Structures are given as structure tokens and as C-alpha cells.
Structure 1
Amino acid sequence: MPNRPVLDFWYEFASPYSCLSALRIEELAEEAGIALRWRPFLLGPIFAAQGWNTSPFALYPSKGRYMWRDTARRARRQGLDFVKPENFPQNSLSAARLALAGREGGWTSVFSKALFRAQFCEGRNIAEEAVQTLALREAGIEPHVAIPLSRSEEVKGRLRAEIEYAKSIGIFGAPFFVAGDGELFWGDDRLEEALEWARDGR
């Protein structure tokens, strides 16, 4: 479909709600006639600017308990078994760099979904190279090519630039959806509304 409207999908690998969106967004976008831009980034620097040294779900136990119960409910509606990884939030730096490295090759979405499933459906540690390797192979990419690329100064700089851009447009959590006119939508429960806005506008 030529000239399809575009929706930017900003996601953080350590975010359970980002996982829920990642595992359903492509089918919904296709149905709506929307082109997706997968934009992995890091929430750590954004949280740090607010004086937080970790996820608010870890800082505030009652909020964290609710989040895990809520994501389990939402996951079940998608037919997913959701688990809390042993370490939360996980270090997602190398995962984000790998996902960014995949943009030119077109494997960012497949890799991202595989890594999200590894973390929140299997409870694995996405900072481990072995886990990343399995996700890369699922995306049809050889780790010996992708991993060195993700560690290049170009990709590192690209991730820093994405984080700064996210800050500049007012992103403060994940997932975030940004329509072509700049309208912002925060949270997995706003995905359908974001797609409708991207397609039909105000």
C-alpha cells in the first residue's frame, strides 16, 4: 500500500508493557494500513533525569505488584504465559544496540519479538550473549556479524541520539506511540487508539 501513514513504536526491552505491544502491534498495524517504525531506546537516562535510579515499578512496591498482575491479565488475553524474570529491570543496553543495528537489514522487529519472548515468556536474561544469539538466529542473522556491528561507535551514537530525541518530544515511559502529526500515546492500552489516530488523524 503506497504512502501509508506511519506510526513510531518506541519501546524499552526491560518494559513488560512494551513486550505486550511488540507481540501484537504488527498484525494490528497491517489491519489498519499503518507502516511501523520500530524505535528501541533506553528509559534509564530518562528516569535518571527525574531522579530515579531504576524503574518506578521497582522503586514503588505497590505499583510493581499491580504492574505484574496487570501484565499477566493482559498477556493471558493475548494467549501468552507471562513470567517475572529473576532480575528486574534487566540491563537492556546491548539489546537496544542490537535492535538498532538491525534497522538497515530489516530484522529489528523479528529480533525484538524473540528477545521479548525470551525475557517475559521464558524468564531469561536478555543481557546474556547466549540469549541474544538465539534471538538473532531466529531473525535469520548470524551473531558474528550482528554483535560486532552493534558495538560500533556508529550504533552507540545512534542510540544516544534516539534517547535525546525521545526526551525532546516528551517521551517519559514505554511503550510510546507517535503518530505522523506528532500526537503522543503512552501505554499498551493506547495502542489501538494510536493506530486509529495515525490512520485518520484528529
Structure 2
Amino acid sequence: MPNRPVLDFWYEFASPYSCLSALRIEKLAEEAGVTLRWRPFLLGPIFAAQGWNTSPFALYPSKGRYMWRDTARRGRRQGVAIVKPENFPQNSLTAARLALAGRDGGWTPAFSKALFQAHFCEGRNMAEEAVLSAALKEAGSDPNVAIPLSRSEEVKGRLRAEIEYAKSIGIFGAPFFVAGDGELFWGDDRLEEALEWATEGR
């Protein structure tokens, strides 16, 4: 029996488009027979290399206004209410480390979806430990174990390595989908195309 095709799902917790993808990608991947690899990372260092000190959606007001309207429209189509958090973008460092720490325990997808919902559907602050703890519990993880683990040098180093690898393959935003042959797809609106490529190739 041939191996299932694989799709890497690169996402940033401060990205509303990543949220939209995270909330629908599992069902679509399963229907397509594709194995997902959830790859949380940080866009901050990638933006900094381009001379930006924050999200382009914050730097350029007209782009930001369009993005919030666009994500609201896209969310409504999939039954998701997207809200703008009080502060945007918020610090996603701890969230990314926790998601990486969850790989070994298998709760990365559930934690990621729970935190995205808290942040972009309920407007909660994803940097607050109470919000992170609630998402961990929803994913079946013990915050008293997961949070200290996320502060370990091993997990910190893992995140740094992921960011460097993302840079090396040309990732510049989120979400990004990378097929097994290295083909890159950027944006929530490219998810279906990425899954099709993963299964059928060029």
C-alpha cells in the first residue's frame, strides 16, 4: 500500500488567516488522504529580516482594514466568527513553544485550534497564561507539565531551528503549505490547491 502524501502546515498564532486554515484543514486533509504535519513558527524574525518591526497588516492601515474584512467574510463562509483582538498582533512566542512541545504528546493540533478560537473568535489575549492553560486543558494536556516544558532549552532551540528552516525554504508569511516535493503555497485561499498538489503533483 503506497504511503500517504504529506503536507506541511506552517502557521503563526498571530495570523488570522492561519486561524481560518487551522480550523478546517484536518477535515479537508482527511478527505484528500493527506497526512498533515503541523509546524508552528514565528513570523517576527522573518519580518525583521525584511526591515519590518511588526505585521504588515499593522504597518499599512489600508491593508489591515482589508484583512479584517476579508477574514470576516471568509470566516462566515465556514461558519466561524472572526473578531479583532484588542491588541494586534499579540506576542505568540509562548504559544509557538507550547505547540512545538506538544508534538511529542500528540496534542499540537488540538491545542492550536483551541488557542486560535480563543484568540480570533473570542478576542482573548493568547499571551496570557490563563488563556494558554485553558487551551492546553481543552487539548488534554496538563498546563503544569506543558508550560515548564515549553521553557526548556530543547524546545526553545527547536523553535529557532524551525524559523531558520522556514527562511531557508522561502517562507515569508502564514499560513504556508509545503507539499512533499517542496512546492510552496501561501495563504488560506491556497489550502485546497495545496492538498490537490500533495496528492496529484504537477
TM-score (norm 2): 0.99
Quote the residue 1:148 is aligned against: 148
Other structure's SS at 1:163 match: helix
Question: What does 1:186-201 align with in structure 2 at a 5 Å threshold?
Answer: 186-201=186-201
Asked if 1:185 corresponds to 2:182, the answer is no
**CA deviation profile, 1:103-152 (whole Å, cap 9, x unmatched):** 01100000000000000000000000000000000001110010000000
* Paired residues for 1:86-101 under 5 Å: 86-101=86-101
Which residue is 1:121 aligned to? 121
Alpha-carbon displacement from aligned partner over 1:7-38 (angstroms, at most 9, x marks no partner): 00000000000000000000000000000000
Alpha-carbon offset, residue 3 of structure 1: 1.4
| 1:25 equivalent in structure 2 | 25
2:63 counterpart letter in structure 1: K
2:111 match:
111
State the AA in 1 paired with 2:101. A
Question: Structure 1 residues 2 and 127, CA, compared in 2 at 3 Å: closer, same or farther?
Answer: farther
> What secondary structure is seen at the aligned counterpart in 2 of 1:8?
strand
Partners of 2:193 and 2:78 in 1: how far apart?
18
Look up the match of 2:71.
71
Give identity over the alignment, percent.
89
Q: For the residues of structure 1 that align with 2:80 and 2:143, how far apart are their CA atoms? A: 27
Matches of 1:3 and 1:104 in 2, distance apart? 22
2:29 aligned with 1:7:
no
2 CA distance for matches of 1:6 and 1:139? 23
- Deviation digits for residues 68-110 of structure 1, max 9, x if unmatched? 0000000000111110000100100000000000001100000
Number of residue equivalences: 202
Task: Tell me which residue corresponds to 1:157.
Answer: 157
Misfit runs of 4+, over 4 Å = none
Q: Which residue of 2 aligns with 1:16?
A: 16
Unaligned 5+ residue runs, structure 2? Answer: none
**Aligned residues: CA RMSD:** 0.8
